[in-house]
Chain A
Amino acid sequence: MTQRLLRTLMRPSLKDLAKTALLSGLALGLAFTAAPTHEAEAKDKFIFANSSAYNTMDPQALFDVGRVAYRLNLYDGLMRWLDNPPKLNLWLAESHKISSDGKKYTFKLKDAKFHDGSPVEAKDVVYSTERILALKKGAASLFVKVLKPGTTKAVDPKTVEFNLVKPSAIFLATIPEIHIMNSDLMKKHEKGGDWSSAWVSKNDAGSGSFKLKRYDPAKGFLAERFTDHFYGWGDKYLDEIEFRTVVEINSRVLGMMKGDFHGADGYMPQDQIKRLRTSKNVNVMEQESMRIFYFIIHNARAPMNDIHFRKALSYAFDYDGFIKNILSNSVARNPVPLPNNIWGAPSGVKGYTFDLKKAAEHLAKVKKPIREITIGALAGYGQTEQAAVLLQNALAKLGVKSKIVAETWPVASGKMRNEQQMYDLLPLWKSTYYADPNNWVGEMYYSPNVGSRNNSWYKDAQVDKWIAEAIETTDRKVREANYAKAATKVMDDAAGIFVYNTKWFGPYSKKVDGVRFSPIGNAQEMRWVYFK
């Protein structure tokens, strides 16, 4: 009896199961066919595929190349770097004056509006400056030594005055990194002395060409054109820009080829660039950038503190093999700690070549036994690993043992500051934060910067003198000569292994035009771009 009951109970359910399956299958099928095909290209929306995630929308929290897009497009500075070779242009400022002692900088502001309609005034510049000095993040390190809190003054609503502690030849070059924020709006969202950090990390307090519309740190950000931008608009522009985080190189490449993305980062491996060139949707723009690749050598630790060992290292790297074979000649050999194309770079310098005989000669002069050398590498950056392996290979031929330690950038950047933890060697890039030779040789080999920007522990009194002089004087000729001399000496001292200067290969959709490349900004400023 129970079995018959169960049978009657079960049988309908089985039929029902079949029926539901069939129906849902039909429904699903209909849904699929009825759904419109996905058009990723809107005529007026530009989608850029970025390799890093945008963790914050606060322009003063970060200062790196990978996440520059929101700072460039949502915010303005008093001046702006444009084009290649980079030129410093007036931006929010319509004029500037420097006092004769080089300590007072006065800027007059143009008529500009913030995204919420309120005018950009001197008090906003003062607020932004005080904020970056107080938060000590991002680009603050560029200013803390020259500006003291409370010394920046709003002379009148349109005039702002910076009072430097001492004259600085690079102050003007770094001014674009103070992004002007809407002080009234910011103060409304201030919470517990955080300078509104919590609010502005997700919101927009800028005056830039585009206004933030949507932001999701896992996805990216979307911005729409700010019609009231002070610079004005011609008749060709983008209505919306979207910067999306796409971590995998292959995904970016495929998306470009399919036409899903209109732009992507310009420092991809050459193999992928070749692939992009074959696509009928993609136009690969090529420009010489200012981004050198080199090995940091720990100059203060044995045996690297012996110049002969360092010279041996410099002769032990297969520059040609690396540049020609691994990088398919997509970069230019750059033997000094300054990009070849910046003023102040010494000309006609030959630099070291791959010569194991010469390396052995120098090695013979080094005290034996030589311990195992630790070569660092950046996890996830295949090039650094390949460079490390090449060096290891050559060292092995010379009888020097080495091991490669690949760690992530957060780990490596922490170790770089500590004399004991820093690796013996670390291959790395140095990008353009501001277009001045000080950005490279001045930061990297100046002894007061040891532990922060000087991760080589290189200390040379002569080089220090040249650089100190070049930082203070505004005489271009003196500066040019000094940086050239400093760079040549650093190379002669083999304080690092200087390999190449990057070329930028920017993939952009064939449908767009107007892309302007500058080594700072890397062609991610969208206000010039439009669909043809």
Chain B
Amino acid sequence: MKLFVLILNRFFWFFPTVLGLMIITFGISHVIPADPVAFLAGDNATNEQIEALRHQLGLDQPLHTQLTNYIFRLFQGDFGVSLYTLRPISDDLSSRLPATLELTLVSVLVSAMIGIPLGVFSAVHRNSALDHFLRIFTVSGLAMASFWFAILLQLLFAMEWNLTPLQGRVESWGPDVVTGFFLIDSIIAWDAEMLWDTVSHMFLPVATLAYPAMATIVRFTRAGVLNAMNSNYVLYEQSMGFPRSVIIWKYVLRNALIGTITQIGLIFGVLIANAVVVEAVFDWPGLGYYAVQSILQSDYNAIMGFTFVVGVIFIIVNLLVDISHGFIDPRESR
């Protein structure tokens, strides 16, 4: 019942939160001291031309009118047009969002698939050489600046040793878009070369994103496993003569994973944040770098557009994490 109230409460607050986000973003983006119209009109434009263009784009109306117009159109699914490129924002968002999501999800998967087993081993063989190495490895992972790590990886693997592509998402034009996730789309298109193209371009960016994520997962899994291993019921099973591997893989792991899974929600947030610089360094055509560019260029509609999308995603993810938290651990009241 408490859970139901929680969910209801969150849904109730969903719209005002998003609205508040939009208002703040609108305010900030219009205070930014760049004039996209002057830029759009070109180097040689006269001031009359600029004002004419401003009127044409509706940017000479009072701010609150602009805001209400924008929100009104948003409800109709119209994200407006980029002031920088004059292309519909929805086009940009729909092509860039899958790029970032694909990168993020693959990174989470990789970091979980490697991190969880490593965390378990680390806990089970506590104080072994592997354990010590892993602890250094994970602490490093959380101390490295992602953009620096990305540059280092580029320097070594792409520039010096020529093992991976330097940048970009694909060399070619990419597979025909079905889902927007190139990995899936190349499989649908049954194109091995395209698949390899996609995968090879993911090595460095995924490595950069997965490293800190993996570090967190290893640490939490290790802590969770150790905790579980010293708990009463495990002692009970040990005294009952259950084989050690059974204890670990069936019971300990499951309980340890609870903490890890809740962490994944947080990790997702960190990944999106790191994705911004990783996309910048690797020229990945995703939402993160698009966000930075729009801000630097004062592209109002683009800023509002991606803020809305990212904000909604974040709110949903937080909501899911809170809900799953409530499900998994009924002791936790909000």
Q: In the complex they form, do A and B come into direct contact, defined as C-beta atoms under 8 angstroms apart?
A: yes
Q: Tell me the complex Cα distance, A35–B39, Å.
A: 46
User: Cβ of B193 and Cβ of A35 under 8 Å apart?
Assistant: yes
A443 adjacent to chain B (CB < 8 Å): yes
Is B249's CB within 8 Å of the partner chain A? yes
Nearest-neighbour CB distance to chain B for A17, whole angstroms, equals 10
Task: Say yes or no: B196 contacts A35, CB within 8 Å.
Answer: yes
Return the chain B residue nearest A409 by Cβ.
B39
A56 and B53 contact, CB distance less than 8 A: no
Chain B 80-119 interface 0/1 with A at a Cβ cutoff of 8 Å (1 = within): 0010111100001001100000000000000000000000
Known contacts A10-B250, A139-B42, A144-B46; A260/B171 CB under 8 A:
yes
The answer, yes or no, to whether B7 is at the interface (CB within 8 Å) is no
Q: Is B34 an interface residue (CB 8 A)?
A: yes
Whether the pair B95, A218 counts as a contact (CB closer than 8 A) is: yes
**B62 contacts the other chain (Cβ, under 8 Å)?**
no
Evaluate contact between A38 and B45: CB separation under 8 angstroms.
Answer: no
Q: Contacts A38-B197, A214-B173: A417 and B38 contacting too (C-beta < 8 A)?
A: yes
**Cβ B159 vs Cβ A408 within 8 A:** no
Q: How far is the CA of A246 from the CA of B46 in the complex (A)?
A: 32
Chain A residues whose CB sits within 8 angstroms of the CB of B250 once the complex forms: 6-7, 10
The 8 closest A-B pairs by CB, nearest first: A414-B35, A55-B85, A411-B34, A141-B44, A218-B285, A35-B196, A410-B39, A414-B38
The CA-CA distance from A197 to B43 in the complex, in Å, is 20
Are B87 and A410 closer than 8 Å at their CB atoms?
Answer: no
A459 within 8 A of B: no
User: Could you tell me if A35 and B195 are in contact, using CB atoms closer than 8 angstroms?
Assistant: yes
Given A31-B195, A63-B43, A414-B38, decide whether A141 and B49 contact each other with a Cβ distance below 8 A: yes
Which size class do A's interface residues fall under? 35 or more
> Does any Cβ of B come within 8 Å of A151's Cβ?
no
Least Cβ–Cβ distance between A359 and chain B, in angstroms: 31
- Name which residue of chain A comes closest to B52, CB basis: A136
Q: When the two chains form their complex, are residues B84 and A35 in contact, meaning their CB atoms are under 8 A apart?
A: no
Bound: A407/B34 CA distance, A: 9
Q: Which of B134-142, B160-168, B260-268, B307-315 has 4 or more CB atoms under 8 Å from chain A?
A: B160-168
Please tell me if B78 contacts chain A, counting CB pairs below 8 Å. Answer: no
Hey, which chain A residues are within 8 Å of B281, CB to CB?
248
Q: Is A268 an interface residue, CB under 8 A from the partner?
A: no
Total inter-chain residue pairs, C-beta < 8 Å: 145
Give Cα A201 to B84, complex, Å.
13
4 more A-B residue pairs beyond the given contacts A7-B250, A408-B34, with a C-beta to C-beta distance below 8 A: A247-B283, A258-B162, A410-B297, A414-B35
Q: Which residue of A lies closest to B32 (CB)?
A: A411
8 Å CB interface, A217-275 against B: 217-219, 222, 246-248, 250-251, 254-255, 258, 260
Q: Is the CB of A34 within 8 A of B192?
A: yes
The A441-467 residues at the B interface (CB cut-off 8 A) are: 443, 451-453
Interface flags, B123-164, vs A, CB<8A=1, else 0: 000000000000000000000000000000010001100100
CB of A410 within 8 A of CB of B36, answer: yes
- Can you give 5 contacting A-B residue pairs, CB < 8 Å? A31-B192, A38-B193, A137-B40, A248-B281, A411-B298
Q: Is B86 within 8 A of A415, CB to CB?
A: no
| Any A CB within 8 A of the CB of B230 | no
Q: Is A433 an interface residue (CB 8 A)?
A: yes
Q: Closest residue to A260 on the B side, CB-wise?
A: B171
Name the residue on B nearest A215 (C-beta): B173
> Contacts A64-B42, A247-B283; is A410 near B47 (CB within 8 Å)?
no
Contact of B42 among A10, A35, A141, A260 (CB under 8 A): A141
Cα–Cα distance between A140 and B46 once the two chains are bound (Å):
10
**A216 on the B face (CB < 8 A):** yes
A residues 126-160 near B (Cβ < 8 Å) are 136-142, 144
Name the contact of A142 in the complex, choosing from B39, B44, B193 (C-beta under 8 A): B44
A34 to B191 Cα, complex, angstroms: 11
Q: Does A373 contact B (CB under 8 A)?
A: no
What is the interface of chain A, defined by CB distance below 8 A to chain B?
6-7, 10, 14, 31-32, 34-36, 38, 40, 55-56, 58, 61-64, 136-142, 144, 197, 201-202, 214, 216-219, 222, 246-248, 250-251, 254-255, 258, 260, 379, 407-411, 413-415, 417, 421, 433, 443, 451-453
Q: Is the CB of A61 within 8 A of B86?
A: yes
Partner of A248, one of B85, B167, B297: B167
Q: Which B-chain residue is minimally distant from A17 (CB atoms)?
A: B249
Residues on B with C-beta less than 8 A from A411 are 32-35, 296, 298
A68 to B46, CA, bound (A): 21
Cβ-based interface call for B5 (8 A): no
Which B residues are CB-close (under 8 A) to A254? Answer: 158-159, 166
* Cα-based distance from A453 to B50 in the complex (angstroms): 13
Q: How far is the CA of A379 from the CA of B167 in the complex (A)?
A: 22
**Do A453 and B44 form a contact, CB below 8 Å, given A56-B86, A255-B166?**
yes
Q: Which residues of A contact B82 (CB under 8 A)?
A: 55
Q: A35-B192, A216-B173 are in contact. Are A452 and B34 (CB under 8 A)?
A: no
CB distance from B9 to the nearest CB of A (A): 36
- A247–B193 Cα distance when bound, in Å, is 25
B32, B34, B36, B154 — which one has the most chain A CB atoms within 10 A of its CB? B34
**In the complex, chain B residues whose CB is within 8 Å of the CB of A201:** 86-87
B246 at the interface (CB under 8 A from A): yes
Question: With a CB–CB cut-off of 8 A, which chain B residues contact A408?
Answer: 34, 296-297
Min CB distance A30 to B, Å, is 10
Residues in A with CB closer than 8 Å to B168 are 246, 251
Q: What residues of chain A lie closer than 8 Å to B195, measured between beta carbons?
A: 31, 35
Question: Whole-angstrom distance between the alpha carbons of A250 and B82 in the complex?
Answer: 28
- Asked whether any CB of chain A lies closer than 8 Å to the CB of B6, the reply is no
* CA of A372 to CA of B55, assembled, Å: 37
Contact A140 B192 (CB under 8 A): no
Least CB distance, B288 to chain A, in whole angstroms? 13
- B41 contacts the other chain (Cβ, under 8 Å)? yes
- Determine whether the beta carbon of B45 is less than 8 Å from that of A452: yes
Which of chain B's residues 232-266 have a Cβ closer than 8 Å to chain A? 246, 249-250
A55-B84, A55-B87, A410-B296 are known contacts. Are A246 and B283 too (CB-CB below 8 A)?
A: yes
CB <8 Å contact, B171 and A38: yes
**Which residue among B35, B82, B95, B285 has the maximum number of chain A CB atoms within 10 Å of its CB?**
B35
Mask of B160-200 contacts with A, CB within 8 angstroms, 1/0: 00100011100101100000000000000000110111000
Q: Is the CB of B159 within 8 A of A410?
A: no
User: Please, which residue of chain B has its CB at the minimum distance from the CB of A62?
Assistant: B42
